[in-house]
Amino acid sequence: MEIAEAVKSSRLPGFYKLSLAERVAMVAEWAELCDAEAAVLAGDGLQPAQADLMIENALGTYALPLGVAANFLINGRDYLIPMAVEEPSVLAAVSHSAKLIRAGGGFTAEASEPVMIGQIQLLDVGDGSAADMAAAALALDTHRDELLALADACSPSIVRRGGGARGIEVRPFSDTPVGPMLIIHLLYDTRDAMGANAINTAVETIAPRVAEITGGRTNLRILSNLTDRRTATARGRIPAAELTLPDIPGDEVARLVAEANAFAVVDPYRAATHNKGIMNGIDAVCIATGNDWRAIEAGAHAYAARDGRYRALTDWYVDDHGDLCGEMTLPMAVGIVGGATKVHPTAQVAMKILGVESAGELAAVMACVGLAQNLAAIKALATHGIQKGHMRLHARQIALAAGATDGQVQAIADRLVAEGNIRVERAKELIRN
């Protein structure tokens, strides 16, 4: 395969057939990585001494497979998507879906303004009556500009970059196990940072003044991971003909996918698994880029239950032309400055491969990855099931676990699949023989 041919397009036919070293070389050329950055991909990543500075009681590091997903065309631009994940099939599946969506013109995606929510819990407001709560809310509104200025003073660098405090909202809860409370939301634009530190500093700073203004007592002061003001949206369309399988016409595949989505819209038991499939992709990009995947997980699942019933994050439907269309919006508090993004050497290289210029662009890309990952899962489930393909990849892990050498892994895995007996004991026997 000519490397030069593929440059600037994320279509990398035959990429999976290359050796590890050839893949690293190709991605290095694609993303214009220097030798040191390419060496990071080849295994020269986070060192124990760096880990020791990142967490307490460090012992060493924990590695995960890192790959790139191909075929992503988003808002007219090609992306190679770095993903760190231990689960077989994830990269192949998402690349396949991205290719299908590419055939329909690629993804369109966007992110909202990066407005986060910091929460302050206020108790002992007057006698807890509705009138006293309303008076406290009014007092906070009167002092709105002063509180916003106080919050802005905490992080001048974010304010310089155009971010900062945007508003104050008050939510009364009259009936809680500990009596009435007011929850104050500080809306805060964190620009290209995920912003947890900026938000937490801001709410801790304004809390004493909030207590003075209202005569109440503050307890918790912390950001909310339900970042429903900071969302990303992805859309894709697949011409029905592209979905054609040897034994199922494309328009039928489109209908089966829409039916699968409807299952996850009405049934929380299915929705949990459906959304897990979305997060398979999003988490892998979060991890590769050094973002806080627990925050993204928390936000996604809370958002999926925003109507009071947990449901699918995606919407897949057949349009008037018989084509399959998909759309998803979800909270996406990711950053490209600060945190592990700038400390972890592999995250830095992953960011360079991705080539995004803002947190909003990263959020939009991640939403596309989630939508594509979901399509791959429900298309497989709605047609031939996932186990056949999955077991083929699983067999390689079993062969590895049984102690197969690099040269033996594929042959042992093929034999396990052919025998329909994908077990470590059998793999060990095959290695011995």
Q: List residues near ligand MEV by CB under 6 A.
A: 87, 273-274, 276-277, 280, 377-378, 381, 386
Distances (CA, A) of 385 to 80, 91, 240, 393: 27, 17, 20, 15
**If DSSP codes are grouped into helix, strand and coil, which group holds residue 14?**
coil
CB of 398 to ligand MEV, least distance (A): 17
For residues 304 and 317, what is the distance between their CA atoms, to the nearest angstrom?
18
Catalytic-role residue among 29, 52, 152, 276: 276
Catalytic-role residue among 242, 283, 292, 361: 292
User: In the β-sheet with 115-123, what is the strand arrangement from edge to edge?
Assistant: 164-173, 181-189, 115-123, 217-223
For residues 229 and 188, what is the distance between their CA atoms, to the nearest angstrom?
10
**If DSSP codes are grouped into helix, strand and coil, which group holds residue 226?**
coil
CB of 276 to ligand MEV, least distance (A): 6
Contact 314, 374 (CB under 8 A): yes
Nearest residue (CB) to ligand MEV, 195 versus 277: 277
Nearest residue (CB) to ligand MEV, 163 versus 370: 370
276 is catalytic: yes
Q: Which of 378, 251, 359 is nearest to 314 (CA)?
A: 378
CB of 366 to ligand MEV, least distance (A): 17
By Cβ distance, which residue is nearest to ligand MEV?
A: 277
CB of 90 to ligand MEV, least distance (A): 8
Q: What is the DSSP string of 185-198?
A: EEEEE-TTB--HHH
Nearest residue (CB) to ligand MEV, 88 versus 360: 88
Contact 119, 221 (CB under 8 A): yes
Nearest residue (CB) to ligand MEV, 199 versus 328: 328
Nearest residue (CB) to ligand MEV, 88 versus 335: 88
Catalytic-role residue among 87, 110, 297, 414: 87
Catalytic-role residue among 29, 124, 390, 414: 390
CB of 226 to ligand MEV, least distance (A): 23
Distances (CA, A) of 217 to 53, 165, 185, 227: 37, 22, 15, 25
CB of 95 to ligand MEV, least distance (A): 16
Q: Where are the alpha helices (DSSP H) in 215-355?
A: 250-266, 268-288, 293-304, 340-343, 345-354
Nearest residue (CB) to ligand MEV, 386 versus 431: 386
Amino acid at 208: P
87 is catalytic: yes
The catalytic residue positions are: 87, 276, 292, 390
